[in-house]
Structure 1
């Protein structure tokens, strides 16, 4: 009888140890590798990932990772613009359904927030180059994405 109890205790302890060392726990501590996309004119275009802030519990403490990344207007210098039609509908798609906020940037700063309806917005009627930042927020943190629209 004592041997059976000892075997059960060893099995339970082993399962707890294996579960505690599983890679899933480590992944929860890392900032997401969530890809983001813009859907426009029936095509999908990948968003460029910028800076992020991510936090997780580390025992009784909270650990935080914050990156220092180029601003969207600086990133725009090396991003290939997406050629789109004026007044075209843009849909933002990012994994795991984060809360989204979209900002229009000028050459130096955020110019204004773009209202979203069901993760969509309309491009301006005026032709030109527009820099957009998509700020995605999850419970654990946030990630900034950028895309450039060349409106014709």
Structure 2
């Protein structure tokens, strides 16, 4: 009976590890107390038994294709970025897209982006690296 229990515990432990390793990290973006809708973009990820790369649309097209709604915020608002789990050394890059082109590296400090001071619609791309791969995410804001 004890032997079966130990075997069961080992199997459960291995399944938990496999599921955790295969899971692509998630992102949570918030501003002014509100959650911002995001979409996962292109990625390459090494799972426990396989690896997968998926080259998706540019962030500009992706937010449109996935019907990601913009959130209205004030000029200069703080946009908080939180990953689960955190990227390597907690570092990642953020870019602003205009049309179908990456135009500006966003002002990013300690997991906080500062929204532009000019009114308009802005599409952001966040790109991060982990030991198992690289993932990008996109979201859209409307600055009042």
Q: How does 1:93-132 map to 2 (within 5 A)?
A: 93-98=82-87, 99-132=91-124
Runs of 4+ in 1 over 4 A off after TM superposition: 14-18
**How big is the shift at 1:68?**
2.5
Q: What is the number of residues matched between the two proteins?
A: 138
Q: TM-score, normalised by structure 1?
A: 0.76
SS at match of 2:86: coil
Q: TM-score, normalised by structure 2?
A: 0.80
Instruction: Give, in whole Å, the separation in 1 of the partners of 2:26 and 2:78.
Output: 20
Contact 1:39–1:90 (8 Å) recurs in 2: yes
Unmatched 5+ residue regions in structure 1?
1-10
CA RMSD of superposed structures (Å)? 2.5
Structure with more contact order per residue of length (Cα contacts < 8 Å, sep ≥ 6): 2
Instruction: Give, in whole Å, the separation in 2 of the partners of 1:56 and 1:36.
Output: 19
Unmatched 5+ residue regions in structure 2?
none
Instruction: Give, in whole Å, the separation in 1 of the partners of 2:8 and 2:73.
Output: 54
Instruction: Give, in whole Å, the separation in 2 of the partners of 1:106 and 1:53.
Output: 25
The match for 1:68 is: 55
